[in-house]
Amino acid sequence: MWNTVALCSLGKRPPGAASPLLPRLQTLNRVFERKYQDLCHGKEPARSLQNQGLKRTRDMLPCRLVSNKAKYKRYAKTYPVLDGRILSVYRHVFEENLRNSEAVIKRYSELLETASKGGGENAILRHTQRNKKLFVRERLKLLLDDESFLELSPLAGLDLPYGDVPAAGCLTGIGKICGVWCVFMANDATVKGGTIYPIGVKKQLRAQEIALQNRLCSVYLVDSGGAFLPLQSELFPDKLHGGRVFYNEAIMSAMRIPQVAVVCGSCVAGGAYVPTMAEEAVIIDKIGTLFLAGPPLVKAATGEDVSPEDLGGAKLHSQVSGCSDHFASSEEEAYECIRNVISTLNYHPLPEEAVEHDSPLYSPDELLGLAPRDYRCTLPVKLILSRLMDGSRFQEFKANYGTTLVTGFGHVEGCLVGVVASNGELSHDAALKGSHFVQLCGQRGVPILFLQNTAPQAPQPTSLSQAEAHSNRLKAQASMMAAVACAPVPKITIVIGGCYGTESYVMCGRSFSPNFLFLWPNARVALVDSRHFSVVPRAEDSDSAGDESELKQLKEKLEEESSAFYSSARLWDDGVILPQNTRKVIAQCLEITAQQKSQVVSPCPHPVIRM
Ligand code: COA
C-alpha cells in the first residue's frame, strides 16, 4: 500500500531511505484492518453455496448496462497530476496530526469493538444456544453476496443519556444481494430482546431515507420485542417516531422500491407491522413469531395458556393468516429464499467487471497526518486529494480564483466525480466559484463529493468596509447553499476536519440531505470551536459578566459534544470512517447511487397491498 514517492516526499530524505513514520503508520493500518475485518465481517469466507446461488442468479439476469471502461480510458488519464509531496515545512503539523489520528483511531477501535458485541457475551450465548438463533452478523453473512457491505452508523447509541445501546440495537447498511445493492435493517435481539429505543427508530428511519433517496430495495430482518416501553413517549407518538417506519414501507412500495422481510425472531406489537406491510415476507419455523399481543397478555386477558408458536408461529402465518408468504424450515433456507425473491425484482445489475483505474500516486496511509487535529493544523487540501483521486489526477476548475475552495473533476475507482473541497475560510469569491461549479455538476449529471473542513468562526467586522465585505460574503454563501440544495445529482459529504457553523451547511452538511455523510475520526462537529471560545455570551443589557468557572464548564461541554464519536452516537452522520478507507467508501457510495440509473420505473400509484 505504501509507495516510495510518498515516502521520499516526507522531508529531505534521499530516495529509498525509510521514513521514521513508516513503521507507525503501517502497524496502525495493519492492526486496524485486521480488527475491522474481524469485527465487522467475521473471519470466515463467504459460503460456497451462497456464491453458487449468486452465480446462478446473475446468469439469469439480463445485463443491459454498457461498461464505461472505454470512456474512462479516454478522459481520465489526461487530467493533470497533483503534486502531493509533503514539504518539510509541514512536517511538524503532519506529525501533530498523526499523533492525534493514532489516539482517535484507538478510541474508534474500542468503541467499534463494544458495538460489535451487541448485548455482550452472555446475551449472545442465550440468543444462540437457548433461543437457537443466529447472531445478527452471521445472518448478514448468509444474506449478502460477500462481506464488502457498507455498514451505517455502527457507533450509534453509545453513551446516550439513557445508557449504552450498542449499534442502537439494530444493524443497518447496504450490501449486495444477487448483485443488487440493497439496504438492510436487522434487529439485534441480544440488545434488550431487540426492543426499539428512540435511537433505534432514528437509525431505521435513516436507513429508509437512504433507501428512498437512492431507490434501493429494503430488506428487514425482524427480531424484536417491539417498543422499549420505559421510553415509549420518545418513540411512539410523534411524526418521525415508530409508525413512520410502516408509513415509509407503503410509500416506498408505491414508488416501486421493493420491501421484503424475514421474521427471524419475535415480532411483537408494532414490530409485527414491519413484515406484514412488506411486499413479500418469509417466516422461520420455530424461530419466527408474529403477534400484536404475546402469550402473557393473552393469559392476563383471557386466562388462557397459549404457546408463542400456536399464537403466531410460522405455520399459522403461512397457512392460516397469510401474514407471511414463505415458510422456511431454517435460517439458511430463509435467507436463500430472500435471495431468490431479490432475483425476481427484474433489476439490471451493474456490470460486474471492475472499471480499470489507477491508484493514487501517494499513500492513503499518509492521510492520517493530513487529517487536521484542529483547524490550525490544516494543510492544503490538494495533498488530501492527491491521495484520493485515481492516479492523483485532477482537472481543476478556476484554480486561481477563490482559492479557499478547491473545485474540479477527478475519478474514484473509475467513477467521475466533481469535488468541492474546503481549503480555508469560505470567502465571497470561493462561494461564487462553488455555486458555479455545483451548477456545472448538476448540468452534467456528475455526482459531487464535498470534503468539508470549515472554519470555526468568522472574524467579527471591525470597520464599515469589513461589515460590507461580510454582507457580500453572506450573499455569495446563500447562493452556494441554494445551488447545493437544488443540484439534482448524488452528493457525498466527508467531514475531514471541522464541521462548524453555517459554512458547514454550504458544504452540504446533514441538513442539506447529502446521499451519504461520513466523518473522519478527528472531525469536530459544533456550532463553534470550544478552543476558540474566550467569553460566555451574554445579552447586551446584562450587567453580569460570565465568570471563569462558567466559561470552563461551557468549554468542557462544547469539547465533549464536538467529537466525531458524540456525533455518530446520535446519528448526525452515517458513520465514522478511517481516512485510509475513504477511497473505498466513496467508490461504494458512487456505485450505490448509480444503481438507480439502470432501473426502469413506470408510474405506480399504490403500494403492493397484502391480501
Ligand atoms: N420493553 C423493555 N424491555 C424489554 C421489553 C420491552 N418491550 N421486552 C423485553 N425487554 C427486556 C427484558 O426485560 C430483558 O431485560 P434484562 O436483560 O435486563 O433482564 C431483556 O429485554 C431480554 O428479554 P428476555 O425476555 O430475557 O429475552 P428473550 O429472548 O427470552 O425474549 C422477547 C425476548 C422480546 C421475546 C420477550 O422479552 C418479550 O416477549 N417481551 C415483551 C414484548 C412485548 O410485549 N412488547 C410490547 C411492546 S409495545
Task: Using pLDDT thresholds of 50, 70 and 90, give the confidence band for residue 547.
Answer: confident
Whole-angstrom Cα distance, residue 75 to residue 228?
A: 54
Atom 40 (ligand 1): residue with closest C-alpha? 225
Which residues on adjacent β-strands are paired with residue 418? Answer: 409, 448
pLDDT of residue 597: 83
Pocket test for ligand 1, best of 264, 268, 287 (most atoms within 8 A of CB): 268
Grid coordinates representing 524 are 469536530
> Contacts from 256-260 at CB under 8 Å and sequence distance 24+?
256/599, 256/601, 256/602, 256/604, 257/211, 257/212, 257/215, 257/216, 257/217, 257/218, 258/217, 258/218, 258/345, 259/217, 259/218, 259/220, 259/608, 260/217, 260/218, 260/219, 260/220, 260/338, 260/341, 260/342
CA angle 554–555–557, rounded 5-degree value: 65
User: Higher pLDDT residue, 262 or 2?
Assistant: 262
Dump pLDDT digits (tens) for 242-278.
Answer: 999 999 999 999 999 999 999 999 999 888 999 999 9
Measured from the Cα of 194, ligand 1's closest atom is: 34
Rounded CA-CA distance 340/443 in Å is 39
Report the nearest-CA residue for atom 21 of ligand 1.
Answer: 192
Residue of 195, 246, 291 to test ligand 1 pocket, by largest number of atoms within 8 Å of CB: 195
- The pLDDT assigned to 355 comes to 75
* Model confidence at 395: pLDDT above 70: yes
Q: In the beta sheet, which residues pair with residue 393?
A: 81
Gap between the Cα atoms of 55 and 445, Å rounded: 32
Distance 284 CA to ligand 1 centre (A): 20
Arithmetic mean of pLDDT, 20-47: 50
Residue type, 158: L
Model confidence at 590: pLDDT above 90 = yes
Report residue 57 as a C-alpha cell: 442468479
What is the largest distance, in Å, between two alpha-carbon atoms of the chain? Answer: 85
**426 and 405 Cβ atoms separated by less than 8 Å:** yes
What confidence category does residue 529 fall into, taking pLDDT thresholds of 50, 70 and 90? confident
Ligand 1 binding pocket, CB closer than 6 Å: 131, 192-193, 195, 225-229, 266, 268-269, 294
| Cβ–Cβ < 8 Å for 220, 170 | no
pLDDT surpassing 80 at residue 210? yes
- Of the listed ranges 6-15, 478-487, 595-604, the least confidently predicted one is 6-15
- Position 546 scores a pLDDT of 63
Set of cell numbers at residue 242: 415508530
Question: Cβ(352)–Cβ(65) under 8 Å?
Answer: no
- Total residues belonging to the chain: 611
The pLDDT mean for the chain works out to 87
Which residue of 135, 165, 190, 192 sits with most ligand 1 atoms within 8 Å of its CB, as the best mutation to test the pocket?
A: 192
Instruction: Read off the pLDDT of residues 445-470 as tens digits, 9 standing for 90 and up.
Output: 999 999 999 998 766 778 888 888 88
Distance of CA 32 to the CA centre of its chain: 19
Is 433 a residue whose pLDDT tops 90?
yes
Give me the pLDDT at residue 356, please. Answer: 84
Cell of 108: 474508534
Q: What's the pLDDT tens digit per position in 471-505? A: 999 999 999 999 999 999 999 999 999 999 889 99
Name 103's Cβ contacts closer than 8 Å, sequence gap at least 6: none
Decide: pTM greater than 0.85.
yes
pLDDT of residue 350: 66
For the chain, what percent of residues have pLDDT higher than 70? 83
Q: Is the pLDDT of residue 11 over 50?
A: no
Q: Is residue 349's pLDDT more than 80?
A: no
Provide the 8-state DSSP code for 41: I
Chain segment 97-111, per-residue pLDDT in tens? 999 999 999 999 999
Asked if 233 and 276 touch (Cβ cutoff 8 Å), the reply is no
Residue 7's pLDDT is 32
Question: Which residue intervals of 270-330 are DSSP H helices?
Answer: 273-277, 295-302, 308-312, 314-315
Question: Which residues have CB under 8 Å from 77's CB, separation 6+?
Answer: 358, 391, 393
pLDDT at 599 (0 to 100): 75
pLDDT attached to residue 70: 52
* Structural domains of the chain in order of their starting residue, each with its CATH number: 1-40 (no CATH), 100-343 (3.90.226.10), 364-535+546-597 (3.90.226.10)
